[in-house]
Amino acid sequence: MAFCVNCGSQLPDGSRFCGNCGAQQGGGAPAPMQGGAPAGQQLGANQMQKNGVIFTKADVIDFEIFGDDMQLVEIELDPGESVIAEAGAMNYMESCIKMETVFGDGSGADQGKGLGGKLLSAGKRALTGEGLFMTVFQNADPARKAKVAFASPYPGKIIPVDLDTFDQQLICQKSAFLCAAKGVNVGIHLQKKLGAGLFGGEGFIMQKLTGDGVIFLNAGGTIIKKTLEAGETLKLDTGCLVAMSATVDYDVALQNDIKNGFLGGEGLFLATLTGPGEVWLQSLPFSRMADEIIKASRDNKGENKGFANPVNEVTGGLNDALGGLFKF
> What integer pLDDT is reported at residue 298 of this predicted model?
72
The proportion of the chain whose per-residue pLDDT surpasses 70, expressed as a percent, equals 56
Between residues 133 and 157, the one the model is more confident about: 157
In whole angstroms, give the CA distance from residue 209 to residue 214: 10
Asked whether residue 47 carries a pLDDT value surpassing 90, the answer given is no
Distance, in Å, from the CA atom of 254 to the CA atom of 260, rounded to the nearest integer, reads: 11
3-class DSSP assignment, residue 219: strand
User: What pLDDT does 95 receive?
Assistant: 94
Least confident of 141-150, 196-205, 244-253: 196-205
- Mean pLDDT across the stretch 128-136? 72
Among candidates 237, 291, 240, which has minimal Cα distance to 264? Answer: 237
Q: What are phi and psi of 323, to 5 degrees?
A: -60, -35
What is the pTM for the complete model shown? 0.67
CB 204 within 8 A of CB 239: no
pLDDT of residue 57 exceeding 80, the answer is no
Predicted confidence at residue 39, as pLDDT, reads 45
**For residues 136, 140, 146 and 149, what is the CA-based torsion angle, rounded to 10 degrees?**
-20
Domain ranges of the chain: 1-29, 56-288
The pLDDT of residue 206 is 84
* Residue 26 or 279, more confident: 279
What does the pLDDT look like over 263-319, one tens digit per residue?
445 556 788 899 899 999 998 887 777 777 887 777 665 555 444 555 554 455 545
- What is the rounded CA–CA span in Å between residue 185 and residue 181? 10
Which of 8-17, 36-45, 94-103, 134-143 bottoms out in mean pLDDT, i.e. has the lowest?
A: 36-45
- What local confidence, expressed as pLDDT, does residue 276 receive? 94
Using pLDDT thresholds of 50, 70 and 90, give the confidence band for residue 41. Answer: very low
Inter-residue contact 229 to 263 (CB < 8 Å): no
What's the pLDDT at 86? Answer: 83
CATH number of 56-288: 3.60.160.10
Percent of the chain with pLDDT over 90: 27
Distance CA 167, CA 156 (A): 27
Mean model confidence pLDDT for the chain: 74
φ, ψ for residue 37 (rounded to 5)? -135, 145
